[in-house]
Amino acid sequence: MDVLKAIQWRRSVRKFSQQKIEYEKILQLLEAARLAPSSSNQQAWHFVVIDDKAIIEEIPKQVLIGTRSIISFVKDAPLVIAGCYAKKLSHVAARLFGHENDIIDIAIAMTHIVLAATELGIGTCYIGWFNVKKLKNLLHIPREYNIALLLALGYPIDASTDEGIGGIAPRSRKELEKIVSHNKFGQRF
Ligand SMILES: Cc1cc2nc3c(=O)[nH]c(=O)nc-3n(C[C@H](O)[C@H](O)[C@H](O)COP(=O)(O)O)c2cc1C
């Protein structure tokens, strides 16, 4: 499978089988993250690999709306990876350049994991809805790090098809002409 195929085939998978992801495959995913590019090659990231069911079940409890969690499906993921970045460097970049490269770096690295997982038939879903403070406590993240993104991973419970991993139909995307400009914003490409 090539990268373009993985990009087309990937879906957000939210229904996972309880089959564990093999240790060798987890290592392959982490290696894909390790090889990701980063601003000035800083690699100011840290990946917390969570396979402890008790901890995974705690995660959705951190983001309750009323009594219901908006990410309740995470409790059934056999694996969650928390993508963290060093806050200090990020603040320096923000001061110097007006944007936070370290958050970009960790997002790229997490996408390496997502695409590698897709090739291996492993479903993924990015999770952005979480309470950073509560999750930092739960995962014992040091003060100098922040959590940018969580990734829920597992083999999809439903069979994959040509349409998508886990048999999931693609969600709609805006047309190119609505999101692309030529040379200057707003000029038709
Ligand atoms: C940064 C980011 C945060 C996301 N957070 C959540 C989340 O908290 N819960 C969830 O169910 N999906 C989350 N998603 C998944 C998006 O809803 C999903 O990617 C989008 O609807 C497009 O669907 P697709 O991934 O199947 O193509 C997130 C995606 C990204 C990129």
Ligand 1, atom 7, residue with closest C-alpha: 127
For position 104, which CATH number holds? 3.40.109.10
For residue 96, how far is its CA from the centre of ligand 1 (angstroms)? 30
Any domain includes 3: no
Question: Could you give the CA distance from residue 26 to residue 81 in angstroms, rounded to a whole number?
Answer: 10
Any domain includes 187: no
Global confidence as pTM: 0.95
- Ligand 1 atom index nearest CA of 63: 8
Any domain includes 189: no
Query: Are the C-beta atoms of residues 94 and 88 closer than 8 Å to each other?
Result: no
Average pLDDT per block of 10 residues along the chain, 189 residues long? 92 97 98 95 95 96 83 96 86 70 93 98 96 94 96 98 97 97 96
* Residue 175 pLDDT: 97
For the stretch 33-40, contacts whose Cβ atoms lie closer than 8 Å and that sit 24 or more positions apart, written own/partner, are 33/109, 33/110, 33/112, 33/113, 34/109, 35/112, 36/105, 36/108, 36/109, 36/111, 36/112, 37/105, 37/108, 38/101, 38/102, 38/105, 38/108, 38/109, 39/93, 39/101, 39/102, 39/104, 39/105, 40/101
Q: Is 72 in the pocket of ligand 1 (CB under 6 A)?
A: no
Domain total of the chain? 1
For residue 95, how far is its CA from the centre of ligand 1 (angstroms)? 29
* Residue 91 pLDDT: 66
* Residue 100 pLDDT: 76
Any domain includes 79: yes
Range of the domain at 116: 13-179
- Residue-wise pLDDT for 47-61, tens only, equals 999 999 999 999 999
- Ligand 1 atom index nearest CA of 11: 26
47 - beta bridge partners? Answer: 83
Ligand 1, atom 14, residue with closest C-alpha: 126
Q: Is 125 in the pocket of ligand 1 (CB under 6 A)?
A: yes
Ligand 1, atom 12, residue with closest C-alpha: 127
Q: Is 71 in the pocket of ligand 1 (CB under 6 A)?
A: yes
Question: Which one of 106, 127, 160, 168 would you pick to mutate in the ligand 1 pocket, going by the greatest count of ligand atoms within 8 A of its CB?
Answer: 127
Any domain includes 129: yes
Q: Is 169 in the pocket of ligand 1 (CB under 6 A)?
A: no
